[in-house]
Amino acid sequence: MAGRYYNDNPFDEGQEDNAFSNPASVPPATNSRLSPLPHEPADYDRGATVDIPLDNPKDLKNKEKELQAKEAELKKLEQDLKRREDAIARAGVVIEEKNWPPFFPIIHHDIANEIPIHLQKLQYVAFFTWLGLAACLLWNLIAVTSAWIKGEGITIWLLAIIYLISGVPGAYVLWYRPLYRAMRTDSALKFGWFFLCYLFHIGFCIIATVAPPIFFKGKSLAGILPAIDLLGWNGLVGVFYFIGFAFFCLESLTSIWVIQQVYMYFRGSGKAAEMKKEAARSTMMAAL
């Protein structure tokens, strides 16, 4: 093993292959020249001009006059609209967008943005009394319907429907909307109208709570007296009337609290004296 001789050179890279050493292995080059462009026609005129149709100067002037006339008309309409808006603003008329309830807007109602912060709580409670009246009259219709089904006359059912369809919109028009506008504009006359109509509202709620037969036909209101009378005749109808009595009782108490708070604000803000002055001024103007 010691006498063995190796002829291999570890640093010998070996014979390199030359791709150009064999001409037969190189593919022949193809002719890649592009075809020449076609010659221009003999009758082609490089200096020829293209005619672009232009309007007649008279037509341009006519169009300009028409545009000026339309612009003047638009300015006139804008001035008329602004004049009307100013007149409406001076008259104190506010354009109210209907936004409540959100799914079917029928009234304008935005306490958070239109009522002063220190009056918003009171306005919300007054709003709940209006909704409470709607709930009371709706439940009253349910209770009276149950009594009618069990044998009472149809007259009380028709009266219950009249209370509902006239009481809810009537309350909104007569006392809730005047209070809303009075809170928003701080008008003494609107406060006075609210007090007058809200007293009738409280009176109706108190009468409905008791429901004496001398004021309304039979059992058309779910008060305490019809509830006691019907409880011995039909237990379910009596329970319905007792629930109606509880609703009217709660509505009466809440309404009394609202009118007290509004009156305290009315007296404390000096609106009572202002209302007296306005009433005296109106009387004097009427006399003259």
Read off the tokens for 6. 């190796």
Cβ pair 215, 152 in contact under 8 A: no
- Tokens 């341009």 locate to 60
Rounded CA-CA distance 174/183 in Å is: 15
What is the rounded radius of gyration, in angstroms, for the C-alpha atoms of the chain? 46
Q: What's the confidence (pLDDT) of residue 210?
A: 94
Those residues with Cβ within 8 angstroms of residue 133's Cβ, 6 or more apart along the chain or in another chain: 167, 168, 171, 201, 205, 251
Q: In the chain, which stretches have pLDDT less than 70?
A: 1-56, 58, 88-94, 215-217, 270-280, 282-284, 286-288
- State the CB neighbour count (10 A cutoff) for residue 227: 22
Helix, strand or coil, per DSSP, at residue 112: helix
Q: What's the confidence (pLDDT) of residue 279?
A: 63
pTM of the model: 0.67
Q: Which of 204, 201, 224 is nearest to 212 (CA)?
A: 224
- Alpha helices of the chain — where are they, by DSSP H? 57-91, 111-114, 117-149, 154-171, 177-185, 188-210, 224-231, 235-268, 271-287
Rounded CA-CA distance 242/51 in Å is: 95
Q: What's the confidence (pLDDT) of residue 46?
A: 60
Q: Which of 22, 247, 250 is nearest to 136 (CA)?
A: 247
Those residues with Cβ within 8 angstroms of residue 274's Cβ, 6 or more apart along the chain or in another chain: 188
**H helix or E strand, kind and range, residue 51:** none
Residue type, 5: Y
Cβ pair 194, 182 in contact under 8 A: yes
